[in-house]
Structure 1
Amino acid sequence: MFQSFDPKTAICTPYLFFTGKGGVGKTSTACATAVALADDGKRVLLVSTDPASNLQDVLEVELTNTPKEIPTVPNLFACNLDPELAARKYRERVVGPYRGVLPDSVVVTMEEQMSGACTVEIAAFDEFTSLLGNEAITESYGHIIFDTAPTGHTLRLLQLPTAWTGFLEESTHGASCLGPLSGLGDKKELYNKTMLALSDAKQTMLILVARPDESSLLEANRAAAELREIGIENQTLIINGLMQNYLPDDEVSSFFYMKQQSAISELPLQLKQGLIYSLPYVSYSLTGIESLRYLFKYITLSSTQESTNKRSSQVNLPKLKDLIDELSNQNKRVIFTMGKGGVGKTTIASAIAIGLVERGHQVHLTTTDPAAHVGNIFKDNQLTGSLTISQIHPKHEVTKYKEEVLATAGKDLDEDGLAYLEEDLNSPCTEEIAVFRAFAEVVERSESEIVVIDTAPTGHTLLLLDAAQSYHKELSRSTGEVPESVQKLLPRLRNPNETSVVIVTLAEATPVLEASRLQNDLKRADIHPNWWVINQSLHATSTKDPVLMGRANSEIQWIQKVEELSEKCAIVPIINEERMGSLQLKNFLYKCK
């Protein structure tokens, strides 16, 4: 269907940027590409700026922020830039001068405004810009490959003059998660040169990596459109993990294959118009140089096929039923499912709601997933009196919130200031804040019901809301009043007797590492997740498909990692989640017992 990706023929620029949502295989694809180009005689530098990077695990070499030669691959060098460390240094550069000058509460607010994902991305951009600006480095390599590219939002912001001015003068609305760029003001010329290089098709190729599933392809489409807006046109899509065939008599294998084919058939039109490659779904873990070399040879089973087919002992973990039993027995009133996109939060939230109804509770379920179709899922529910549902549309809530902020904070700004404010409102935190306000209203309306909420804000957003609530008068900024429903819900979320947070992940490197960061983020806000759910596990199935069995065995190390990270953990097998009806959800619960 798609031509196979071969770096030796597909790559023709010195700079390569790999991008895509977490867990799609950016790092493994970037590493395999680097190895293939180095094997072809090219001198290659591989750089990771991913906060959840497992670059050194894939290459099986300890790395620092200084390029290091990979012993088993002549011509290949790699370094692992730590964007979290860079972000801490960046925050201190900006906030440090205000310590002892402004009230401590104001400094705390400034620090929190610069603790979000956008600040980390700016700091990462600063790191690789410094690397690209070093001619001694760029002239030493035929290719420089970056694992994780900046988003269109960050790149647009860098082009705005107001983003480079002072904090107190220009941070105008209290929802910023980025903070000023004044700490990097001396690098503006270097940033401009980097932006020109990014948009030069002869110098830079952007490689969008996606899984053959709906959410991943939609995210790739969104990122592609964002980056085209600022002139980055040289884009290529790699659909990673495409199953080559399936076992007709194996339920898991058949479902897996058919689901991928369905997603590909609905490929967004804009993506269809560009160059598309594919990479196969393989049985082996893509760690180690030899495994990386297998990938472009399209070997779906490694040399350890015989041992792969011998099923490892089953992991003995609680089931979803055990989690629901505890929630019911402890009479939790607010239950959040949290995790990165594509891990199955909506399904788990819906299953929890059904399970609690079956245990005699009144339940209200709400979701922000526009594709969840919760109304259709529960249209055949015979327990309507015990279950109510609602759906929050993020786009509607964000539009409403942006209009409110622009009408207050934006009314007295000049053209540049308004442009900065509008771009700042495109940050990920804006959606979290807008949606959280809608969630708060739902919870307030549902005092007499257990409220199950699909997707919750991060700890950073909660602290940001808390800071805006407490300190906006001191900052003399037009933040708008924090609604009473939000004020009431913030302390409620911190009350473990009322609220339970369930983190949903997959038994793969990136989802687990990102879930770990999410948990740490929540703990900063004094919220302590009770349960993790490992969803869509192949290891928890009885599949006989040799490729899927190989991947099932590779899950074990990540299942063990989740056990280390979580207080309690449940595991859910991968089964057909395209359910349209509560009876199918009840069947899902039965299979997960």
Structure 2
Amino acid sequence: MYFLAQPPRHLFFTGKGGVGKTSIACATAVQLAAEGKQVLLVSSDPASNVGQVFGIDIGNHITAIPSVPGLSALEIDPLAAAQAYRDRIVGPVRGVLPDAVVRGIEEQLSGACTTEIAAFDEFTALLTDTALTANYAHIIFDTAPTGHTIRLLQLAGAWSGFLEQGKGDASCLGPLAGLDKQRTQYKAAVDALADPRRTRLVLVARAQRATLREVARTHEELAAIGLSQQYLVINGVLPAGEAQQDALAAAIAQREHAALGAMPAVLTALPQDRISLKPYNLVGLDALRHLLDDTAAVAPSNTIDLPARLDVPSLAALVDDIAADGHGLVMLMGKGGVGKTTLAAAVAVELAQRGLPVHLTTSDPAAHLTETLEGTLPHLTVSRIDPHAETERYRQHVLDTKGARLDAAGRALLEEDLRSPCTEEVAVFQAFSRVIREAGKQFVVMDTAPTGHTLLLLDATGAYHREVTRQMGTTGLHYTTPMMQLQDPKQTKVLLVTLAETTPVLEAANLQADLRRAGIEPWAWVINSSVAASRPSSALLRQRAHNELREIDAVATRHARRYAVVPLLQQEPVGVERLRELAHLAHGEP
């Protein structure tokens, strides 16, 4: 493996949820410890399962792994760290400032940026305190900070308390007001990240176009701030032998080959490793020791117990219930790479096939679905929003208004804050809002909806809902703001999209909690690209299908009020007919 050749002291693994970075980080730690080195494995993933992988409780203290001599582990709890931040900042003003102001500050500090910066605060000492980690030859981090977070930490003046000085409504700068360590220590940590003699960043992706595009953006963002020592690992590549006797496996192999062939140019220059898809859950030492090689045995397919028929609801069954209302807003939400755009198109096609007027609006940069659907189906109209153009328009508006009142340091902080993921969500949602009002007369299906945190930020700082409420409250007239519409289940139905894998399900559950905080109750979950629903014959895929059954059961019994399962198809679901096939299959058969 190239990424393990002469490794420096620090190795950071980063990538989207579900690509396997935790498993690869654990396997790397096991391999280095097997070479006789003292290794510390650190996870700052909110959905960390490092303890589960090794079969012991770890938690927020350094714990020796008894089964692996030389290996210790630490699970930073970023959610607890973020809560400590909020308590430090909000505590002194609670009861002093009006409740509405306090709630606004709390929401400023409830987003992903707070969690990430709080985690960085926790592991700064591991990068800079030589006495604390002197015994370890290698420190391996599962989940690295993003380029946005590192830029925030590099900015001069960020330590003065942006919110306390009243310089703006920051979505991501709020956490900086709670940092209580010396600025020099943070500078030392950032310097350690940027030094290739001390740190190596390993980008983890899957052989899929969407995840490769995403990791290319991560590469460029990190390289732009000096973190250039990067390696690429393509995880979960289907072994060629599996494609010989299974049509589904052959189709997967062909798609992966095409995705790798079209890999963004910025990635092709990186040292690259490929790790084969494994049939088993990556739990336990035997699994970890075989992850980085291809020697693991696959059980014969006839020994794998799968139900003859997966008795689960189809997407079309969900659409039947949606269609009964005659009109409304349907929002599809989920983490990147789970197939929101495809499922949004499938829902829109199903509604249009019932003779109902539908407006499908998407911010998918690829726009291949809009091209496929344009003018091909009665009752369906499609619009595409350009996220880049909308974000730039929004950024410029904020700089021209709020930024005009700031000094140079304040403006620099505001510009950095406008690079956060929240900014694109706000900008795209504002563009979506122009078509939301149509949902009173027809169906509007929205792909790539904002998170609950972003919606609350819009409500707390955007003033529209609040201002309308203030102006209309005494008139007795009926009125509806966008936020009220999203919170009304009769007008809006939110579909959470996930995969039948541990990390994506945990992330969807966290997103559901985020939405509930905003007063929005998800209407249904959709489990996409299920192998278990595709009735594979490949032994490897049958083992993977068996592993999915537990996650499908967790969604059905613990997380969702209603749900549907969508199978992984042999052909990519592009075009009306394939999208309809996607919606109507739930058992691997018509």
Are residues 1:90 and 2:90 paired? no
Q: 1:308, 1:146 → 2: CA distance?
A: 37
Q: 1:447, 1:284 → 2: CA distance?
A: 48
Which residue does the alignment assign to 2:471? Answer: none
Which residue does the alignment assign to 1:567? Answer: 561
Secondary structure class of the residue paired with 2:141: strand
Q: CA deviation at 1:242?
A: 1.1
- State the identity as a percent: 47
1:190 to 163, 173, 185: 185
CA gap of 1:64–1:471, structure 2 versus 1, over 3 A, is farther
Are residues 1:415 and 2:411 paired? no
Amino acid at match of 1:526: G
Mapped contact 2:155–2:413 kept (Cα < 8 A): yes
Deviations 1:97-131 (A, max 9, x none): 22233222111111101111001000000011033
Q: 1:263, 1:306 → 2: CA distance?
A: 28
Q: CA deviation at 1:330?
A: 3.6
Equivalent runs, 1:42-191 vs 2, <5 Å: 42-168=37-163, 170=165, 172-191=167-186
Are residues 1:262 and 2:258 paired? yes
Mapped contact 1:45–1:78 kept (Cα < 8 A): yes
Q: 2:515, 2:303 → 1: CA distance?
A: 38
1:294 to 270, 273, 290: 290
Q: 2:79, 2:201 → 1: CA distance?
A: 23
- The 10-residue stretch of structure 1 (194-203 or 413-422) with the greater mean CA deviation from structure 2: 413-422
Number of residue pairs matched? 574
Equivalent runs, 1:117-516 vs 2, <5 Å: 117-168=112-163, 170=165, 172-245=167-240, 246-248=242-244, 250-302=246-298, 304-305=299-300, 309-312=304-307, 314-331=309-326, 333-379=328-374, 381-383=376-378, 386-445=379-438, 447-470=440-463, 488-516=481-509
Q: CA deviation at 1:93?
A: 1.3
Q: 1:32, 1:203 → 2: CA distance?
A: 20
- The 10-residue stretch of structure 1 (134-143 or 513-522) with the greater mean CA deviation from structure 2: 134-143
1:18 to 13, 17, 27: 13
Equivalent runs, 1:502-581 vs 2, <5 Å: 502-563=495-556, 564-576=558-570, 578-581=572-575
CA gap of 1:170–1:231, structure 2 versus 1, over 3 A, is farther
Mapped contact 2:459–2:466 kept (Cα < 8 A): no
Q: 1:205, 1:235 → 2: CA distance?
A: 6
Q: 1:310, 1:494 → 2: CA distance?
A: 43
CA gap of 1:340–1:242, structure 2 versus 1, over 3 A, is same
Mapped contact 2:529–2:567 kept (Cα < 8 A): yes
Q: 1:391, 1:301 → 2: CA distance?
A: 46
Secondary structure class of the residue paired with 1:181: helix
- The 10-residue stretch of structure 1 (93-102 or 577-586) with the greater mean CA deviation from structure 2: 577-586
CA gap of 1:269–1:57, structure 2 versus 1, over 3 A, is same
Q: 2:429, 2:388 → 1: CA distance?
A: 13
Q: CA deviation at 1:518?
A: 0.2
Secondary structure class of the residue paired with 1:337: strand
Mapped contact 1:47–1:80 kept (Cα < 8 A): yes
CA gap of 1:306–1:363, structure 2 versus 1, over 3 A, is closer
Amino acid at match of 2:209: E
Q: 2:91, 2:542 → 1: CA distance?
A: 53
Q: 1:40, 1:415 → 2: CA distance?
A: 52
Normalising by structure 2, we get a TM-score of 0.93
1:591 to 581, 585, 588: 585
Q: CA deviation at 1:446?
A: 5.1
Secondary structure class of the residue paired with 1:366: strand
Q: CA deviation at 1:285?
A: 1.1
Are residues 1:582 and 2:576 paired? yes
Q: 1:203, 1:368 → 2: CA distance?
A: 39
CA gap of 1:407–1:473, structure 2 versus 1, over 3 A, is farther
Mapped contact 1:173–1:409 kept (Cα < 8 A): yes
CA gap of 1:352–1:13, structure 2 versus 1, over 3 A, is same
Secondary structure class of the residue paired with 1:452: strand
Amino acid at match of 1:295: L
Q: CA deviation at 1:416?
A: 1.8
Secondary structure class of the residue paired with 2:53: helix
- The 10-residue stretch of structure 1 (491-500 or 91-100) with the greater mean CA deviation from structure 2: 91-100
Mapped contact 1:337–1:455 kept (Cα < 8 A): yes
Q: 2:572, 2:560 → 1: CA distance?
A: 28
Amino acid at match of 1:365: L
Q: 1:171, 1:122 → 2: CA distance?
A: 21
CA gap of 1:267–1:369, structure 2 versus 1, over 3 A, is same
Q: 1:49, 1:504 → 2: CA distance?
A: 24
Amino acid at match of 2:373: F
Amino acid at match of 1:86: A
Amino acid at match of 1:493: L
CA gap of 1:169–1:473, structure 2 versus 1, over 3 A, is farther
Mapped contact 1:98–1:107 kept (Cα < 8 A): yes
Q: CA deviation at 1:372?
A: 3.3
Secondary structure class of the residue paired with 2:545: helix
Q: 2:496, 2:173 → 1: CA distance?
A: 25
Amino acid at match of 1:494: Q
Q: CA deviation at 1:461?
A: 0.9
Q: 1:301, 1:313 → 2: CA distance?
A: 25
Mapped contact 2:566–2:583 kept (Cα < 8 A): no
Amino acid at match of 2:132: I
Secondary structure class of the residue paired with 1:264: helix
Deviations 1:529-584 (A, max 9, x none): 11111100001112111111111111112112112111111111101463442133
- The 10-residue stretch of structure 1 (26-35 or 179-188) with the greater mean CA deviation from structure 2: 179-188
Mapped contact 2:206–2:212 kept (Cα < 8 A): yes
Secondary structure class of the residue paired with 2:497: strand
Deviations 1:399-458 (A, max 9, x none): 110010000011132222211111100111111111111111111245421111112111
- The 10-residue stretch of structure 1 (261-270 or 9-18) with the greater mean CA deviation from structure 2: 9-18
Q: 1:550, 1:117 → 2: CA distance?
A: 34
Deviations 1:164-203 (A, max 9, x none): 1124455544352341513214331111111111111111
Deviations 1:487-537 (A, max 9, x none): 721100100111111111000111101000000000001111111111000
CA-atom RMSD in angstroms: 2.1
Mapped contact 2:497–2:525 kept (Cα < 8 A): yes
CA gap of 1:324–1:253, structure 2 versus 1, over 3 A, is same
Q: CA deviation at 1:294?
A: 1.3
CA gap of 1:413–1:470, structure 2 versus 1, over 3 A, is closer
Q: 2:422, 2:480 → 1: CA distance?
A: 18
Deviations 1:132-154 (A, max 9, x none): 33323321111100000000000
Q: 1:582, 1:471 → 2: CA distance?
A: 38
Mapped contact 2:237–2:276 kept (Cα < 8 A): yes
Q: 2:375, 2:431 → 1: CA distance?
A: 27
CA gap of 1:580–1:313, structure 2 versus 1, over 3 A, is closer
Mapped contact 1:221–1:268 kept (Cα < 8 A): yes
Which residue does the alignment assign to 1:480? Answer: none
Q: 2:464, 2:216 → 1: CA distance?
A: 39
Q: CA deviation at 1:396?
A: 1.0
CA gap of 1:295–1:307, structure 2 versus 1, over 3 A, is farther
Deviations 1:35-72 (A, max 9, x none): 11111111111010011222222222111111111111
Q: Which segments of 5 or more consecutive residues in structure 2 lack a partner in the other structure?
A: 468-478
Secondary structure class of the residue paired with 1:438: helix
Q: CA deviation at 1:332?
A: 5.1
